[in-house]
């Protein structure tokens, strides 16, 4: 997937910066390939009780939001007027579904955690 995002940017420096930001946010910045695979397996194991459809929707919406946020950042840094349109889209069209999906996803997860205790 990161190769796909890399193809969207014309500059390798922008791509490397975006990948570094994602790695820092995810906490996988200094991990080797084996450590990243172990991290992914641990994540899947810890979330296996959750609905796969709910997990897919939450991850998809999050990736879509991250994509448009990075697109806005790139356009804004480049000084292109299209950046304002992307920002308006993020605020008006994507923020509410993003928040609803994530609140629903984590509320269900917390409720299931309380049931288990």
Q: What are the φ and ψ backbone dihedral angles of 59, each rounded to 5 degrees?
A: -70, -40
Average predicted confidence (pLDDT) for the chain? 75
Q: Model-level pTM greater than 0.75?
A: no
pLDDT digits (tens, 9 = 90+) for 25-52: 666 666 777 887 787 788 777 767 667 7
Is 62 within 8 Å of 97 (Cβ atoms)?
A: no
């Amino acid at each position: 997937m990161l190769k796909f995002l890399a193809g969207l940017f014309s500059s390798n420096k922008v791509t490397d910066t975006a990948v570094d930001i994602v790695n820092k946010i995810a906490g996988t910045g200094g991990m080797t390939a084996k450590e990243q695979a172990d991290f992914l397996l641990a994540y899947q194991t810890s979330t296996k009780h959750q609905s796969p459809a709910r997990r897919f929707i939450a991850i998809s919406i999050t990736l879509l939001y991250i994509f448009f946020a990075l697109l806005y950042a790139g356009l804004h840094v480049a000084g292109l007027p299209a950046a304002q349109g992307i920002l308006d889209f993020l605020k008006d069209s994507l923020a509410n579904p993003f928040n609803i999906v994530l609140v629903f996803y984590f509320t269900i997860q917390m409720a299931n955690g309380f049931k288990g205790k």
